[in-house]
Structures are given as structure tokens and as C-alpha cells.
Structure 1
Amino acid sequence: MAPLRLPSDPAAWYQLAAAGGWQAVVADTSHPVAHDVVTSRTMGLPGMTAGWCALPYTAPVLTAPATGQGVAALQVAVRAASAEGLPLQRMVVALVETGDGRLPAGVRAAATMLQAQVSDVVHIPYDPHIRAHGIRDAHRLASRKTREAADALVRAVVASAHRTWGEPLPAAPVPAGAACPKVALPTASVPAQTVPQNEGVLA
């Protein structure tokens, strides 16, 4: 679907989900977590990452390339989030392979260490179709491994939510103003995809 035009404030996503009656929302953001956490603490301002984590029934997913540089940046982000008291136990890490072949030893070691710090670590295999075309034609993915990895990622996110809040998930509270049929919101382009999955909001 085309990107939805929403405010950058994470709470706007939650309000939209509640007003629209959606059971789940997948929000694809690109802000650098470590930089956001450090900047918000230094400047004394609310952080985007903390805003996402504060939403009801949110399971954050951190993504990084499965390379030495990628996992190094990911480890910095995890340390920054831990220092800020963000819920690592709810976070899922997706390590995305950037080419065919065996993962470097350093990446495998980092994934093992991260496994003990976050809810789960999921490996996403390299898929040339996604590299060339993205996921607009997901039904054309040739790799069974890719489909299995996508399923594993969804299951990891749902399992994280269930471990935290129980199964089935309780109904999320409706924010004030969400019951109004017309809500005037400022606009900013943020890509999104809605998925009819479980109750609550998954980011």
C-alpha cells in the first residue's frame, strides 16, 4: 500500500490504529536508535525511541545488516537503550544478511551475545528479489528461506508481546479523542503497512 501521511509522533500511530479499529500496526521507521537515545538524553528532550517503546503493547524490532560494522552499530544501540532503561526484554533483533555464504564468525558471536539481552534474534537470509524490488511483490519471493524467516520474525514479535502482557493480549485502551470520527492531524510522510494480526499495536 502507499505510505500513510502521519505525524512523526509515535502516539499518532497508536491513535490512528485505535480510531480505525485495526488490531495491529507495523510501523517502518528509519531513525538511528543510538543517536536518538543519546541526543534525547543530552538535550533533555523526549526521544523517538522511548516514544515508540511507551506505546501500549509495542514490540520494537531493531534491524541491522549481518556484517561486522552492522552488529557493532547494533551493539551500541542496545547499550544505549539499556542505559536509558528501555525495554530490551521486549525487543526483537533482525539481522539481515547482505550476501550469500556463511555469516562471519564475529556476526555469529554477536548474535549469540545479543540473544541473552533481547527477546529474540532472527536471521533474515539474503534474497536478491528483495534487493532488486523490495517487498512490493512478496508473493513472488522465490526463496523458501525468506518466507520462513518472515514468519519467524512475526512469531518472535507476537511471542514477545504475549510474554509481556499475556495471551490473548488484553484490549488496548482507547486514547482520548480516538472516538471522534474526525481528528485533525498535521502531516508527515511515514511508510506503514497494516496487518490484521493480534490486538494491540506492534511497532
Structure 2
Amino acid sequence: MSLTHQNRLVVPVLSTVGGSGRSTTAGLLACALSAVGSSVVLDTGPRLSSPWPAWSAEPGTGLLSLPPDRPLTRGQVHAAASRFPAPNGGAWQVLTDHQEWNHPPLPLPEDPAAWYQLAAIGGWQAVIADTVHPVAHDVLTARCAGSTGLTARWCQLPFSVPVLCAANTGSGVQALQTAVKAASAEGLPLHRVIVALTATGEGRAPASVRAAAAMLEPRVRAVVQVPHDPRIRAHGMRDASRLKPRSLEAGRQLAHAVVDSAWAAWGDPLPAAAVPRARTAASPNVDHTARNTSKKVPA
């Protein structure tokens, strides 16, 4: 499993409801993928509802330092990112908002293409997006409005492998099944989706959860169990080297499943990633288009 400097794998981490272990899953993925390529987590959530600012032991200058009305360099984007150590001696990064709690909210872009453009400027090979919208609600709302929802737009990005998180509880898998039905009705690429079932406590998952997982496996690319880790509950992803081995192994399983899904969809090795369009000083920083030097990416 490896990524070249020309690759850019996009992994939107989605959830059905709150408490699905979305941020933990995003962190485990970024940590594992850092072993095969440079990786970053895009924190798309509002500052005061996001765990990432508190988890950052080595904060960067933050998203506030990236002006939306001027061109950016790769150095500026990397300086804005927080650094998280990985157990293999490497590191992964997170782009989040580090302002104090009483500062005005930072207006973050909603469009996935804007985040993709930022990651492309940074040149990361694995881009993990910690999203905040509830999947089933988003899909249904878009369906009723006759528009393209956030979930679909994340899935449409070049080389996108979605990861759908749910708690391994009765209510968690029920919400997951509803989200899968909604995604299937809208024709979203379930054949590329990885499901992460996150444990809320020690012990074996309930029988209803195991049955639901078995029923889901033929409909998605893979189902991965993410175990409960008290260290993450207490300290988050601040220092991955201190996590339980089974948590790190779950991250590796998720990473393998994501890369395997990408290879199945687009081939091994992956085609070269899109190149951001050159910009002028008068251009806005977020451009919703990019010039692709590779072959067309299939749906």
C-alpha cells in the first residue's frame, strides 16, 4: 500500500448522527495513512463544536492565517496546519481554527470543492475531511429540493472514498441503515463506501449490531470495527503513540480498506491528481474548478 507524490486520495468521513466517532475515525485514518503518504485532516466544523483545537499539541497558525482573497503558497498552508505525531516516528497534520473561544466565528466554506482546492495547494497525498452534516438528512433534503447535497458533492470529488461512521448500538445501526437506504436511492457510490462501526464501550457488540453489519457487507466496500479506547475518550488523538494497539490496528484496517476501494475504482497505481488552476492576486482563494492532467475520473 503506497501513494506517490502525484496522488491525492480524498476520504470524507461522514456520520449519521452525533456521537458516531467521526473525529476519532478521521484521526485514526490520518495516522495510518501517514505511513504511506503525507496526510491531513480538514476540520470543517465550527471551532466551538470541534475537538481538534483542543487535541492539537503542536498547533499551527490556523485557518484564520489563510486569507480567502489572496493567493496562497504551499508553505503558508503547511504553516497553518497543526502537527500530530504518529507511532512510526512520522506525523500527520490537521487544518483547524485555533482562535480563542471569544473571537468571532470564522466563516468556513461549505462547498467540498473549496476544501479540495486548499488541500491541493498543500500538496497532501491523503486528505481526510472531518465533516459535520448528518448524511441521511442531507441526502433527503437535496432529494426534495432537486439539488446536489453535501454528501453527493464530497463523493464527486476526484478519487473520493467515503467513510460512513455509526455507533455500534441498536440506534446507531438503525440510523446507519436509514442513511444507506437514502444513499442507495440517490445513486451514491456505495460500492466505494467504507463503514466504520465505533464501539461505545468494552465488550462484544450486541447481536443486533452484528446482524446489521453482516447485512451491510454485501452493499458496501467494507465494514470495519473500531474498538473502544479510554485513551481517546480522555485525551483524543493528541498522541497516537499512546493509543491501544487494537485502535491503531483498526486505523490500519480502515486505511487498507480505503486504498483497496480506490484501487478497485480507478486502478493501481492511482492516476495523477488534479492540479490547482493558477491564480492571480485578484482571484479569490477558493476556486471550485481544477485542471486535471490525468484521465477522466469515473463515477
Range into which the TM-score falls when normalised by the shorter chain: 0.7 to 0.9
Amino acid at match of 1:149: A
Query: Following TM superposition, by how much is the alpha carbon of 1:48 offset from its aligned partner in structure 2, in angstroms?
Result: 0.2
State the shift of 1:20 in Å.
2.4
Tell me, what secondary structure is at the counterpart of 1:152?
A: helix
Structure 2 counterparts to residues 159-178 of structure 1, below 5 A: 159-175=260-276, 177=277
Counting only pairs closer than 5 Å after superposition, residues 129-144 of structure 1 correspond to structure 2 as: 129-141=231-243, 143-144=244-245
1:125/1:145 contact within 8 Å kept: yes
Structure having greater relative contact order (Cα 8 Å, sep ≥ 6) = 1
Give the aligned length.
183
Q: Between the two proteins, what is the percent identity of the paired residues? A: 61
1:180 aligns with 2:282: no
Does the 8 A contact of 1:60 with 1:91 survive in 2?
Answer: yes
In the alignment, does 2:176 pair up with 1:74? Answer: yes
More helix by share: 1
Q: Pick the structure with greater CA Rg.
A: 2
CA RMSD of the aligned region, Å?
A: 1.6
Runs of 4+ in 1 over 4 A off after TM superposition: none
Corresponding position of 1:94: 196
SS at match of 2:223: strand
Task: Measure, in 2, the Cα distance between the counterparts of 1:184 and 1:139.
Answer: 39
List alignment gaps of at least 5 residues for structure 1. 187-203
The separation in 1 between residues aligned to 2:182 and 2:143, in whole angstroms, is 10
**Partner-residue secondary structure (3-state), 2:133:** coil
Shift of 1:133: 1.4
Asked if 2 retains the 8 angstrom alpha-carbon contact of 1:90 and 1:161, the reply is yes
Question: Which segments of 5 or more consecutive residues in structure 2 lack a partner in the other structure?
Answer: 1-81, 83-94, 98-105, 287-299
Q: Distance in 2 between matches of 1:114 and 1:181?
A: 48
How far does the alpha carbon of each residue in 1:37-93 deviate from its partner, in whole angstroms, 9 at most, with x for none? 000111222200000000010000000100000000000000000000000000000
Alignment of 1:22-101 (within 5 A): 22-101=124-203
Q: Please report the TM-score for the alignment, with normalisation by the length of structure 2.
A: 0.58
1:110 partnered with 2:209:
no
Match of 1:3 among 96, 107, 112: 96
When normalised by structure 1's length, the TM-score is 0.85
